Structure 1
Amino acid sequence: MSTRSSRDVLGRGLRVLGRAIRTEPRLFVIGAIGSSFFGLLVIANSYVVGAVIGHVVVPSFAKGHVGTGELALIAAAFLGISVLRVGSIFGRRLGAGFMQFRLQARYRRAVTRRYLSLPPSWHQQHATGTLLSNANSDVEAAFVPIAPLPFAVGTIVMIFAAVVALFLTDWVLALVGITLFPMLFGLNYIYSRKMSPRQIRAQQMRAKVSAVAHESFDGALVVKTMGREEDESRRFGVFVSELRDALISVGRLRGFFDPTMDALPSLGTLAVLLLGAWRLQSGALSVSELITVSFLFTVLAFPVRAIGWVVAELPRSVAGWERVAAVLAADGDLAYGSSAPAGDGPAELSFESVDFRYGDGPLVLHDVSFTVPPGKTVALVGATGSGKSTIASLAVRLVDPVDGRISVDGLALPSLSEQALASTSALVPQIPFVFDDTVRGNVTLDRPRITDDDAWAAIRLAQAERFVENLPAGIETEVGERGTSLSGGQRQRLTLARALAGHPRLLVLDDATSAVDPRVEADILAALRGGDAGASILVVAYRRATIALADEVVYLEQGKVVATGTHTSLLESVPGYADLVTAYEKAEQERVDA
C-alpha cells in the first residue's frame, strides 16, 4: 500500500460509514439517540455520585449516622438513572445491531446479484475462493465498524457535554480534559495509519486462503488419486502461515494500542486527583465537585474506547469495502433489448461473418458464417481448440462477438430481451452442473411454468426415466452436492432434461452426451431429432455416430469454417474432416494390425 493511501484511510473509512448511514438512516438515528442519551446519563450519574458523597456521605461521617429518608433518596436516584441507562443501552444496541446486519445482508445480496449479471468471461478471470470471500468476509469486514459507530457518536456528544461540565465545575481540572481528549483522537489517527496496510494485507490473505482451500477441496479426487495430499497440505500451509503472520502483525499493533487507550483516561483521573487535592486544600473546590470530576474521568475510559473501536476497524472496513465495491463496479455487462421472436416453433440461428477474441488476445474465431435451419440438427466438428465451445457460448449469448452478427429468427441477439433469450434458447454445457437438490428441483429449477408433466416429459426425452425411477425416492431423491450420488452420464442426462423442460426453440449441446454410452446417446439424439423437443439443435460433436445423425455438418479449423455439408459429402471431399472423424477407427485398426 502506498504512503498516500495509508494516510487517507481515515477519510476513506469515514466515506464508507457515510454510505452506511445514508443507506440505513433510521436505524442509525435510533442507535445514535440511544447512545447520546447514555452519554448524558453518564455525566448525570457523575453529578449524582458527587452530590451523594459531598452532601450525604461526608456529613453522615461527621454526624455519625445517616437517615433512612436520605438512604431512600440515594437509592431512588441511582435506581432511576440505572433504569434510564438500560433503556438507552437497549436503543443503542438495537439500532447498531439491526443496522449492521441489514447492511451486510443488503450487500451480500447486491454482490450475488452482480455475480449473476456478469458474463462468464468475467468469472473466468477471478478465483472462486476470492468471489466467495467478496460475498462473505469482505462484506462482513466492510460493516464491522457499524456496531460501535452509534456508541462512538454518543461518546462524542458525551465528551462535548463533559468538557462543558468540567468548565462549569473548575477550569483548572477542565484543562486536563482539554489536554486528554486531543491525545486520544491523535492516538487513534496514528493507529489508523499504522493499522491500514496490516488490515488490508490480512484481508487479502483471507481471500487467498479461501481460494486455495476451495481449489483443494474441489480437486480432492485429483489430489487423492495422484498422491498429492502432502504437497497440497504444504501449499495450503504456506498461505495459512502468511495469513497467520498478517494477523499477528495486526494483533501486535492492537496490543500496543489498546493498553495505551486504557491508560490515558486513568492518567487523566490521577492528574485530576492530584490537582483536585491541591484545589480542595486552597478552598477553590468542594469535595462534591472533586468527586464529580474524578468519577467523570473514571467512567469516560470505557465510552471513549468506542471511538477507538471504530477507528481500529476502519482499515479493515476500507479493505473489505473496496473489494466489494470492485465487484459492484465491474464492467462487462451485456446490454439487452426489448424484442422477442414471434414464432413458437423451432428457431433459426444464423452466424454472419462473426469474429471473436478473449480479452486482448488473438482472434479465436474469424469470419464464421453458417445457419441452423428451423427444426434441423447441425453438428460442429473440429479439432480441439478450433472454436466449437466458443461458438456454443456465442449462440446463447454468454458472450458477444467483436464483429459480425448472430441472430435468431432474423433478430440480432443483442436486440432480444433477457427473458426472451432465456426462453428461446438453452445450452447444455460440456461439464454438467447439478445442484444439491432433488431430481425434480434440478429439472424444474423452481420455474413456475414448468409442471410435473413437463419435468417427466423432459426426463423421458433425455433417456433418464429408467434411472430416475430406480432412485431411492424417485424424482424426489436428493442427489447431493454437484450430483455426487449420480454417475457422469446420469448427470449429463439430468442437465439435458433441465434444458428441455423449458421447451427451448433452440437447443445447443456442447459435447453434452460425451459421458453416456453410444447406444443411449443415439437414443437421445434420435428422440431430439424426431421433433419431440420442438427445437432446432446445434451440437458440438466428436463421435462419428453422433455426427452422422446431423442434417448438416460445419467443419472448423483454427477458428474458421472450412466446409459445410452432410457428413457423407464431407467425408468424400474434405481430407482434414475425414482424417479427424475416422482417427479413432484408424488407430484401432493399426493396433489390431500390429
Structure 2
Amino acid sequence: MTARTDRRIIWRGLRVLGRAVAEQPRLFTVGVLGSVVYSLLIIGGAYLSGYVVGHVVVPAVRSGSVATGTLAAAGAAFVAVTLLRIAGIFGRRLGAGYMQFQMQARYRRRVTRRYLSLPLSWHHRHSTGTLLSNANSDVEAAWFPIAPLPFAVGTVVMLVAALGSLLATDWVLALVGFGVFPTLFGVNVVYSRRMAPRQARAQQLRGEVSDIAHESFDGALVVKAMGREAAETARFRERAGQLRDALISVGRLRGAFDPVLEVLPTLGTLTALLVGAWRLRAGAIGVEELVSVTLLFTVLAFPVRAIGWVLSELPRSVAGWDRVRSVLAATGEMPYGAAAAAGGAGAALAFEDVTFAYTPGLPVLRDVTFTVPAGRTVALVGPTGAGKSTLAALAARLVDPTAGVVRLDGADLRGLRADALAAAVALVPQTPFVFDDSVRANVALERPGVDEAAVRAALDLAQATAFVDHLPAGPDTELGERGATLSGGQRQRLTLARALAGRPRLLVVDDATSAVDPRVEAAILAGLRGRAPAATILVVAYRRATITLADEVVYLDGGTVRGRGTHADLLRTVPGYAALVSAYEQADAERTQAHAYDEDPAYSGEPA
C-alpha cells in the first residue's frame, strides 16, 4: 500500500468520525470536555508535585520539621486534583461510550430499515451472511474508533499545553519535549499506515467467515443428507484460517510497535533528567522545575497512546463504513403511494400487459394479462419455471413489474400505502417460515385487531386446530427456530393461518399446501370458498383437487398466458395443459402409493 493510499485511508477515516461528531455533537462535547479536564490536570498534577517538593519537602528536609498546616494544604490539593481527574475520566468515558453505542444502534436500525425497503431482487444478489455482517460487525467496526476519540482530542490539547509549559519553564527542556512528542506522533502515524491493509483484510474476512458459517448452518439438512460435513468443515476451516492469519498479522505489528511506543516516553524522561540536572547545576532552573518536568514526561506516555489507538483503528473503520454505506446507498427502493385500498369483501386483481425480468434483458414474464374477479378463485397452473411464483410476488407487490401494471380494485398497487396494501393482500409463500415463538405469536404477529378469537378462527380455517391443541402447551407452545418441532405440512398450515388471521381481501397462495395431505388441502380450500365474506383467491396449484375447486384456471407457460377458462375447457382445448395435469396426477398418485406402502408394506396399489 502506497503512502498516498495510506493518507487517503486516514483522511477517509477522519471523515467517518466527523460524521459521528456531526450526528452526536453534545455527547462528543461531553467526552472532549472530560478528556481536556483530565489532560490539563495531568500537567497540573506534575507541576503541583514539583511545587510541593520545592516548597514543602525541600524546606522540611533542610529544617528537619514541617508545618502541619502546610502538609494538610498540600494533601488537600492532591485530593482535589485527583477528584477532578476522576470527574474528567467519568465525563470522557460517559460521552465516548454513549456516543459509540448510540451510533452503532442508530446505524444498525438504518441498515435494517434499508433491508426492509429494498426489493427481493436486491436480496437475491446478496448472501444472508453478508447482510448479517453488514448490520453487526461492519457497523461495530465503523464506529469503534469513537471510544478513544475524545481521549485523543484531549491528548492533543494536553501536548500543546505541555509544550507551552515547557517553554515557560526552560527553553532547553522544551527542546527535549519538541524532540520526543513529535517523534511519538510520527511513530503512531507510521503504525497506522502499516496497520491499514491488515485491518481492512481482517474485516473483509470476518464477513466471508460469516457468509460460510450461515450458509452451512442454514443448509444443515442438505449438508448432512449429502454427506458434505467434511467438505463444509474444510471450506470453513480454510477461511477461518485466513482470518486467524490476518488477525495474527495485526497482533504481530501491534507487538512490534507497542514496545517502541512504550520506550520513547521513558527515553524522554531519562533525557529530561540528564538535561535537567545539567540546567540545575548551571542555576537555570530549580528543584521544583526539575521535578515537574520529569513527572510531566513520565505521565504523558499513556495519554499519547490514545492518538495511536484512533489512527490504528481508522482502516478498520473505513472498511466497515464502506460495507455499511454500500447498503445505505443501494438503489431499487420500492416507494409507496398515499392511496388507501377500497373496502368491501373480495378485491379484484388485474394484470395488464405485465412484463418482469430479474436480470435486464431476460424477462421471465411477457405481456401477461388476466383478471381475478372479486370474490372468485383463480388457479395458476404451469410447468416449473413458467413464472407462477413471480406472478404471486407481483400480486403481493414484493416486486414491481418491469413493464405493465398490476391493479387492485382498479388502483395501481404502486399507488397504495404500505399499510393499506398489507391489510388488503396476504401472501402465503411456497416455503413456510415460522418464527422462534409461540403458535399464537406466529399467527397474530402483534397486528391490531388480531385477537384470540381471530387466531382461533384462522387456525380452524387452516385445518390446524387439531394439531395445535395436541401440542404440549397448545397455542402457547414455543416452536423453536424455523418451527423445527413441526412437520412440513403443519408449518404450511400455520403460515396459512397467519395470512388468514388478518382477514385479507385478496389471498395469494403460492403452492403453499404441497406438504399437506390432499384431504386436508381439499378441506382448507372448501373452507376458504365457503367463508363469508368471501375473499378473492389466487392460488398456484398442481393438484387436481385444487384446480377443480377454482372458478377459473390460467395456464402459464414460458412466461406467457397460454390459456384461460375452466379446468374442463382447458383439458379439451389446450394440449399442453392436459399433458401437464396428467403428469401432475401421475406423480401425485405415485406419492400417495408410496406413502400407503410405507404405512402397510402389504399394500399393492390395486383395489381389493
- Tell whether the structures are fold-level matches, with TM greater than 0.5: yes
Q: Counterpart of 1:242? A: 242
Q: What are the ranges of 5 or more consecutive residues in structure 1 without an aligned counterpart?
A: none
2-structure distance, mates of 1:220, 1:42: 57
Q: CA deviation at 1:111?
A: 1.3
1-structure distance, mates of 2:355, 2:235: 40
The letter for the 2-side match of 1:487 is S
Q: What are the ranges of 5 or more consecutive residues in structure 2 without an aligned counterpart?
A: 594-603
Q: Is the 8 A contact 1:129 1:207 kept in 2?
A: yes
Q: Counterpart of 2:423? A: 423
1-structure distance, mates of 2:343, 2:82: 74
**Alpha-carbon distance change, 457 to 260 in structure 1, aligned in 2, over 3 angstroms:** same
2-structure distance, mates of 1:301, 1:424: 66
Which TM-score applies when normalising by structure 2?
0.94
Q: CA deviation at 1:151?
A: 1.0
1-structure distance, mates of 2:140, 2:92: 20
Q: Counterpart of 1:509? A: 509
Q: Counterpart of 1:202? A: 202
Q: Counterpart of 1:383? A: 383
Equivalences for residues 389-538 of structure 1 within 5 A: 389-532=389-532, 534-538=534-538
Q: CA deviation at 1:3?
A: 6.9
Q: Counterpart of 1:546? A: 546
1:582 match: secondary structure: helix
1:352 aligns with 2:349: no
Q: Is the 8 A contact 2:345 2:533 kept in 1?
A: no
Q: Is the 8 A contact 1:130 1:211 kept in 2?
A: yes
For 1:481-522, what per-residue CA distance to the aligned partner results, in whole angstroms no more than 9, with x for missing partners? 111111111111111111111111111001010110100001
2-structure distance, mates of 1:4, 1:475: 63
2:330 match: secondary structure: coil
Q: Counterpart of 2:148? A: 148
1:401 match: secondary structure: coil
Q: Counterpart of 2:112? A: 112
Deviates more, 1:324-333 or 1:188-197: 188-197
1-structure distance, mates of 2:560, 2:348: 21
For 1:126-157, what per-residue CA distance to the aligned partner results, in whole angstroms no more than 9, with x for missing partners? 11111111111111111111111111111111
The letter for the 2-side match of 1:359 is T
For 1:55-106, what per-residue CA distance to the aligned partner results, in whole angstroms no more than 9, with x for missing partners? 3223333334444333323322211211111111111111111111111111
Q: Is the 8 A contact 2:54 2:288 kept in 1?
A: yes
Equivalences for residues 71-470 of structure 1 within 5 A: 71-470=71-470
Q: Counterpart of 1:49? A: 49
Q: CA deviation at 1:453?
A: 1.2
1:8 match: secondary structure: helix
1-structure distance, mates of 2:465, 2:4: 64
Q: CA deviation at 1:366?
A: 0.6
Share of identical aligned residues, percent? 65
Q: Is the 8 A contact 1:388 1:540 kept in 2?
A: yes
Q: Is the 8 A contact 2:544 2:585 kept in 1?
A: no
Q: Is the 8 A contact 2:189 2:308 kept in 1?
A: no
**Alpha-carbon distance change, 156 to 223 in structure 1, aligned in 2, over 3 angstroms:** same
Q: Counterpart of 1:25? A: 25
Q: Is the 8 A contact 2:345 2:534 kept in 1?
A: yes
Q: Is the 8 A contact 1:35 1:91 kept in 2?
A: yes
2:497 match: secondary structure: helix
1-structure distance, mates of 2:532, 2:184: 76
Q: Is the 8 A contact 2:50 2:290 kept in 1?
A: yes
2-structure distance, mates of 1:205, 1:15: 24
For 1:142-178, what per-residue CA distance to the aligned partner results, in whole angstroms no more than 9, with x for missing partners? 1111111111111111111111100000011111222
Q: Is the 8 A contact 2:41 2:81 kept in 1?
A: yes
2:355 match: secondary structure: strand
1:363 match: secondary structure: coil
1:574 aligns with 2:574: yes
The letter for the 1-side match of 2:284 is A
2-structure distance, mates of 1:3, 1:547: 69
The letter for the 2-side match of 1:24 is Q
The letter for the 1-side match of 2:245 is D
Q: CA deviation at 1:361?
A: 4.8
Which TM-score applies when normalising by structure 1?
0.97
Q: Is the 8 A contact 1:375 1:531 kept in 2?
A: no
1:440 match: secondary structure: helix
Q: CA deviation at 1:585?
A: 4.2
1-structure distance, mates of 2:518, 2:3: 64
2:394 match: secondary structure: helix
**Alpha-carbon distance change, 449 to 160 in structure 1, aligned in 2, over 3 angstroms:** same
1:347 match: secondary structure: coil
Q: Is the 8 A contact 2:111 2:135 kept in 1?
A: yes
1-structure distance, mates of 2:343, 2:94: 56
2-structure distance, mates of 1:548, 1:517: 17
1-structure distance, mates of 2:68, 2:510: 90
State the aligned residue count: 593
Q: CA deviation at 1:373?
A: 0.7
Q: Is the 8 A contact 1:500 1:533 kept in 2?
A: no
For 1:350-393, what per-residue CA distance to the aligned partner results, in whole angstroms no more than 9, with x for missing partners? 11111111132511111111111111111111111111111111
1-structure distance, mates of 2:524, 2:246: 55
RMSD: 1.8
2-structure distance, mates of 1:35, 1:340: 54
**Alpha-carbon distance change, 6 to 427 in structure 1, aligned in 2, over 3 angstroms:** farther
